[in-house]
């Protein structure tokens, strides 16, 4: 395992939030941002390919393993995560960075790009779960409401009743599909280490704040958006509406992948992103 040989760093932000992560490589700074139940270890399939070209940082977001932060209020969202990321860039004296985010990490990356566009060189986002975008169409509204009644509401009830394991299983199945490799085994065990992160999003007063389409379409940096062709319907409709709202972004739909594109089709993802970032790779990518 690549990450086992790395020393985990702890960064204390000026807002009294601690973040843990790893850093390796040289060149332009590139920040990996994981999803709702991931942590800094989520990007191991990317590490070797990207550290050859970039100064890479993979960190655990506010409530993810092994951070010991506590929730101060019932409100938490990608806006807060973007604020943490800005503090991290300041602390590490990074003027401008590439952001690569998956799921809620992709949501965070786009929120950060809106917050400080001059600090962001490029954004790569995999299926950011920006739920309000599903409601832009009648089909999407129906899909989103079904997802809410079959996944979000049952998971929230389980969290509120203290059955965190059941909540994690419901949410994982709803997000990734019942047949996904992450619903059992070692992958699920690791996800359970990040229950607090999922819980804080699930119980937030506004876990999916709207990033306005007109502001996203006006972002000046190159943006690449990924989705798996086998993803769940709610992710597909969000992605379709997001792509429609961001005509200048490069959209890539990946065969034989669901919500976890960077994990499920790591080689294709790595080569596609490196090509987008102007790095030479061993084979030609046809996207």
Among 26-35, 55-64, 278-287, the range scoring the smallest mean pLDDT is 278-287
* In the predicted structure, residue 285 carries a pLDDT above the cut 50: no
Question: What is the radius of gyration, based on Cα positions, of the chain?
Answer: 18
Q: Give residue 185's pLDDT.
A: 60
Say whether 265 sits in a helix, a strand or coil: coil
- Across-strand partners of 102? 126
Q: Which of 123, 153, 152, 81 is nearest to 226 (CA)?
A: 123
Q: Give residue 125's pLDDT.
A: 98
Mean pLDDT value of segment 37-41? 94
Please state, as a whole number, how many other Cβ atoms lie within 10 Å of the Cβ of residue 178. 9
Q: Which two tokens stand for residue 258?
A: 């669901």
* In the predicted structure, residue 287 carries a pLDDT above the cut 50: no
Q: Which two tokens stand for residue 185?
A: 């085994």
Helix, strand, coil % over all residues of the chain, rounded to 5? 50, 15, 35
Q: Give residue 73's pLDDT.
A: 66
Among 14-28, 150-164, 252-266, 273-287, the range scoring the smallest mean pLDDT is 273-287
Q: What would the pLDDT profile of 132-164 be if each residue is shown by its tens digit? A: 999 999 999 999 999 999 998 999 899 889 898
pLDDT band at 193; cut points 50, 70, 90: confident
- Percentage of residues in the chain having pLDDT higher than 90: 75
Q: In what order do the strands lie in the sheet with 9-12?
A: 9-12, 18-24, 55-59, 29-33, 97-102, 120-126, 223-228, 250-254
Q: Give residue 15's pLDDT.
A: 94
Q: Which two tokens stand for residue 270?
A: 């790595």
Q: Give residue 18's pLDDT.
A: 98
- Percentage of residues in the chain having pLDDT higher than 70: 93
Mean pLDDT value of segment 72-79? 84
* In the predicted structure, residue 75 carries a pLDDT above the cut 60: yes
Taking each continuous run of H as one helix and of E as one strand, the counts in the chain are: 12, 8
* In the predicted structure, residue 197 carries a pLDDT above the cut 90: no
Mean pLDDT value of segment 222-248? 97
Mean pLDDT value of segment 200-220? 94
Angle, vertex CA 239, rays to CA 244 and CA 153, nearest 5: 130
**Mean pLDDT over all residues of the chain?**
92
* In the predicted structure, residue 183 carries a pLDDT above the cut 60: no
pLDDT band at 186; cut points 50, 70, 90: low
Mean pLDDT value of segment 187-207? 83
Mean pLDDT value of segment 54-60? 98
Q: What would the pLDDT profile of 94-140 be if each residue is shown by its tens digit? A: 999 999 999 999 999 999 999 999 999 999 999 999 999 999 999 99
Q: Give residue 180's pLDDT.
A: 52
Q: Report the predicted TM-score, pTM, of the whole model to 2 decimal places.
A: 0.92
């Amino acid at each position: 395992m690549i990450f086992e040989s790395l020393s985990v760093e702890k960064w204390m932000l000026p807002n009294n939030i601690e973040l843990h992560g790893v850093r390796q490589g040289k060149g332009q700074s590139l920040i990996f941002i994981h999803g709702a139940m991931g942590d800094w270890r989520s990007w191991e399939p990317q590490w070797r390919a990207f550290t050859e070209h970039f100064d890479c940082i993979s960190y655990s977001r506010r409530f993810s393993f092994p951070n010991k932060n506590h929730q101060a209020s019932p409100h938490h969202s990608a806006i807060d995560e973007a604020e943490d990321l800005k503090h991290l860039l300041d602390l590490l004296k990074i003027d401008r960075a590439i952001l690569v985010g998956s799921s809620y990490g992709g949501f965070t990356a786009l929120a950060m790009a809106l917050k400080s566009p001059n600090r962001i060189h490029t954004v790569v986002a995999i299926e950011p779960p920006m739920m309000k975008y599903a409601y832009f169409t009648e089909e999407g509204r129906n899909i989103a409401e079904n997802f809410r009644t079959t996944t979000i509401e049952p998971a929230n009830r389980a969290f509120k009743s203290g059955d965190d394991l059941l909540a994690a299983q419901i949410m994982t199945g709803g997000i990734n599909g019942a047949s996904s490799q992450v619903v059992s085994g070692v992958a699920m065990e690791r996800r359970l280490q990040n229950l607090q992160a999922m819980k804080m999003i699930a119980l937030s007063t506004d876990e999916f704040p709207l990033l306005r389409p007109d502001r996203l379409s006006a972002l000046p940096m190159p943006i690449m958006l990924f989705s798996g062709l086998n993803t769940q319907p709610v992710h597909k409709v969000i992605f379709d509406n997001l792509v429609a709202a961001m005509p200048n972004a490069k959209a890539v739909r990946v065969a034989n992948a669901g919500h976890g594109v960077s994990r499920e089709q790591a080689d294709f993802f790595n080569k596609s992103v490196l090509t987008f970032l102007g790095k030479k790779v061993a084979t030609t990518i046809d996207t």
